[in-house]
Amino acid sequence: MKTITAMTFRKKFGSVLNGVVRHNAPVAVSRGDHPMVVVVPYATYQEIAPESDRLHKLSSAFEQLDAWRRGPGQKLKGFKPVDAIRAIREGR
């Protein structure tokens, strides 16, 4: 993987982006000999992004909670899955 400095990236932003897309090769951007970020093509990002999988799992969980709430969960009137998930996230 090619590594460039942040200053070079700033000066050659457009050409670096074109190179990443054209060659489908990620570029690491470093500052002070420490890698800070990696620039990858958008298609690659979508494949490796954990967020897309996380969103799919969350939507599936919402669907299951709603189905359960309509069935045996009828006793829990007023229960909001969104509030429950937010409370769990805050407790991390």
Per-residue pLDDT tens digits for 26-39: 999 999 989 999 99
CATH superfamily of 2-47: YefM-like domain (3.40.1620.10)
pLDDT in tens, 39-63: 999 888 877 776 666 777 778 888 8
Closest CA to 25 of 11, 7, 38, 10: 38
Domain residue ranges in the chain: 2-47, 49-90
- For CA atoms 6, 11, 12, 14, the dihedral sign is positive
pLDDT of 3-20, one tens digit each? 999 999 999 999 999 999
- pLDDT at site 12: 96
Question: pTM above the 0.85 mark?
Answer: no
